[in-house]
Amino acid sequence: MAFDRPWQIVLLIGLAVVLRMVLPRAPGLGRWRSSLLELDDSLLIAILVVFCVVRPFVLQTFFIPSGSMLPTLQEKDRIIVLRCWYRFQPPKPGDIVVFRAPKSAYYSNPMENPDLNEQKDFIKRLVGTPGDRIRVYDSLLYRDGQPQDEPYIEWPKAIPWPGDGRTELRMPPDQFVVMGDNRNNSNDSTRWELPTFGPSEINAPYVSRERLLGKAWLIFWPPHRIRILH
């Protein structure tokens, strides 16, 4: 159990509180009673610190469910994300970020995201920041007119973007563009479109600043994959 839903955390705290109420009256504990009470108190404090301070504001663990970030991240990798990182410095191109997926991400892949109201966390590489000019042309990512050296990607992007890749996408304030390192097999900014309304199709390729949860920092499982992420 990942304890990523509020009811799971409330249940865990509730169990610790119930134990704190039951242990003083439980028969047959003898000299173990005080030790069990201290253990339960320590557990309750640890739960409150982890779920009310560390996890929301400092560190959080995430499980990698797909190959969209190959070769950097493998399926079933477990990583630590710095939730506090972007409180002290702005997001930068090249950062691996975890974010709340925008609704356009669900529309672009309805088979894997049938519930449009579900909240999912995605992990991608940040390639465009506010004020940048972005495009993919001739299998290269261009930022502000300069081709980018990306040794970490699986394969170059096969399809130009946006459109035929001849027109740059100018990044608006507080908005970011993200791509998977597995460029041709990733549900990312290059695929995000909302449904067609009338004769036009609205492209929504951005992740807003408020949706960024943190910067991926470390692979901690499996053991042979332990490494700092760059």
Phi/psi-derived region of residue 145, left when phi > 0, alpha when psi is between -120 and 50, beta in every other case: left
- Grouping H, G, I as helix, E, B as strand and the rest as coil, residue 22 is helix
Domain match, 33 and 78 both: no
76 in the same domain as 32: no
- List, by residue number, the catalytic residues: 68, 124
Structural domain includes residue 99? yes
How many residues are there in the chain? 230
* Count of domains for the chain: 2
Residue 222 placed within a domain: yes
CB 77 within 8 A of CB 62: no
Domain boundary among 16, 32, 57: 57
Residues 50, 79, single domain; the answer is: no
Cis omega (within 30 of 0) for bond into 222: yes
| Residue 1 within a domain | no
Q: Which residue do the tokens 């920092």 mark? A: 217
**The residue to which tokens 């910067």 are assigned:** 215
Distance CA 185, CA 68 (A): 6
Q: What is the pLDDT of residues 1-53, one digit of tens each?
A: 455 566 666 787 788 888 888 888 888 777 787 888 888 778 777 767 666 66
* Any domain includes 159: yes
Residues 64, 156 within the same domain:
yes
Going by C-alpha positions, the residue among 162, 83, 76, 81 that lies closest to residue 127 is: 162
| CA-closest candidate to residue 181, choices 64, 102, 103 | 64
Same domain flag for 53 and 101: no
pTM here? Answer: 0.76
One domain for residues 46 and 98: no
Could you tell me the CATH number of the domain that includes residue 71?
Answer: 2.10.109.10
Q: Are residues 51 and 100 in the same domain?
A: no
Residue 173 lies inside a defined structural domain of this protein: yes
Q: Are 64 and 49 part of one and the same domain?
A: no
Residues of the domain holding 13: 6-57
Pick from 131, 128, 140, 141: which is nearest to 207 by CA? 128
145 within a domain of the structure (yes/no):
yes
Given a contact cutoff of 8 angstroms between Cβ atoms, the answer to whether 140 and 153 are in contact is no
Residues 134 and 210 in one domain: yes
Are 80 and 25 members of one domain? Answer: no
pLDDT (tens place) for every residue of the chain, 230 residues total:
455 566 666 787 788 888 888 888 888 777 787 888 888 778 777 767 666 666 666 688 899 999 999 999 999 999 999 998 998 899 999 999 999 998 888 887 777 777 777 788 999 999 999 999 999 999 999 999 999 999 999 999 999 999 898 889 999 999 999 999 999 999 999 998 766 554 444 567 999 999 999 999 999 889 899 999 98
Tell me: do 117 and 27 sit in the same domain.
no
Shared domain check, 144 and 50: no
